[in-house]
Amino acid sequence: MELYIYGIIDSSGRMVESIRGLEGADVYNIPYCDIGVVVSKFTKSPTQNTTKDCVLAHEEVIERLMEYFTVLPVRFHTVFDGRDGVVSLMQSYYKDFRDNLDRLRNKVEFGIKVIWPSDKIKEHIINTYKKSDKKVSVLSDSSNQRFIRDKFEKFKLDEEFQKKAYKFIKVMDIFFSKFAAEKKLKKLKTESLLLDAVYLVEKDKQDDFKEAFEHIKSPHASFKFLFSGPWPPYNFVILPKKSDLLKDPEQEDLFDKVIQHRDLIGANKI
């Protein structure tokens, strides 16, 4: 019998209340020492298409668990072949799970994405460059020298673009970091997606963090912001070694994130 895993919790006791998971199955805890793996019985193939309902059902179980426990949220669609597989996982990773549970206690994750007006920024950089004295001077007008001149211009524009991006990111990050315990930033994933960040925030600092976001948002009218959370700390579970217990090579990272799916679904709902 296959077991669908939702997360690992800091309790080896029974569920406080009845929770229904994927396929409407009962969610229960498999204890190991002082922690536990929260699972439900599962019949479908783990490789089937991700659907909005499945993602939300997975997320709902984890957030219900978060009301009572510290949770290490497991990657969406992680399925194990029976109780023995789950127990083996716990035997191998107990200490890592325990450390993560201690580190993430009373903390939640927030996501922040920022789109900046990259075309306007580029236009401004080009105009400034044209007026500057930093242009490369070539003596002859041969195709080879023109090639270098064009390359140099592009090089300078790219450099300036990146400098501006990092400057904006730094200003925003200083603000958010005041209220965050940990963070992960991805800069310029595309030319327009200036920042794709996740912050780990203590539960009692959630309001301060949200307020910091509003402060950053208001003076940047030409920027577009996406704020999401509070979420389970998907991006902050650190597992030093990879599990060789996972039978499906697609599931090589047990604590991969469900964030992208969730943000897309969430954004669609607005």
Q: Does 203 bind another protein (CB under 8 A)?
A: no
Burial of 57 from C-beta contacts in 10 A (0-12 / 13-18 / 19+): buried
CA 82 to chain centre: 29
Least distance from another protein to the Cβ atom of residue 149, Å? 9
Q: Does 266 bind another protein (CB under 8 A)?
A: yes
Nearest to 185, CA basis, from 194, 195, 171: 195
Of the candidate residues 92, 177, 192, 243, the single one contacting another protein (CB under 8 A): 192
Task: Give the per-residue contact string, 83-122, with another protein (x = CB under 8 A; - = no).
Answer: ------------------------------x-x-------
Of the candidate residues 25, 87, 138, 245, the single one contacting another protein (CB under 8 A): 138
Least distance from another protein to the Cβ atom of residue 36, Å? 20
Q: Which is nearer to another protein, 83 or 146 (CB)?
A: 146
Stretch that binds another protein, among 71-79, 89-97, 147-155, 167-175 (CB under 8 A): 147-155
**Residues 149-178, interacting with another protein (CB under 8 A):** 151-152, 155-156
175, 177, 183, 187 alpha-carbon torsion, rounded to 10° = 30
Q: Does 263 bind another protein (CB under 8 A)?
A: yes
Stretch that binds another protein, among 43-51, 54-62, 97-105, 168-176 (CB under 8 A): 54-62
* Phi, psi for 222 (deg, rounded to 5): -85, -5
The CB-side HSE value for 164 (13 A sphere, CA atoms) comes to 18
Q: Does 18 bind another protein (CB under 8 A)?
A: no
Q: Does 226 bind another protein (CB under 8 A)?
A: yes
Least distance from another protein to the Cβ atom of residue 146, Å? 8
2 has which bridge partners? Answer: 42, 81
Of the candidate residues 147, 163, 171, 211, the single one contacting another protein (CB under 8 A): 147
Residue 147 makes CB contacts below 8 A (sequence gap 6+) with: none
Ramachandran category for residue 106: left, alpha or beta (phi over 0 → left; psi -120 to 50 → alpha): left
Task: Give the per-residue contact string, 59-88, with another protein (x = CB under 8 A; - = no).
Answer: xx--xx--x---------------------
Burial of 103 from C-beta contacts in 10 A (0-12 / 13-18 / 19+): middle
Q: Does 231 bind another protein (CB under 8 A)?
A: yes
DSSP symbol at 135: P
Least distance from another protein to the Cβ atom of residue 85, Å? 24
Cα R_g (the chain), whole angstroms? 24
First-last CA distance in the chain: 39
DSSP symbol at 20: B
Residues in touch with another protein (CB under 8 A): 56, 59-60, 63-64, 67, 113, 115, 136, 138-140, 142-148, 151-152, 155-156, 186, 189-190, 192-193, 196, 224-231, 260, 262-264, 266-270
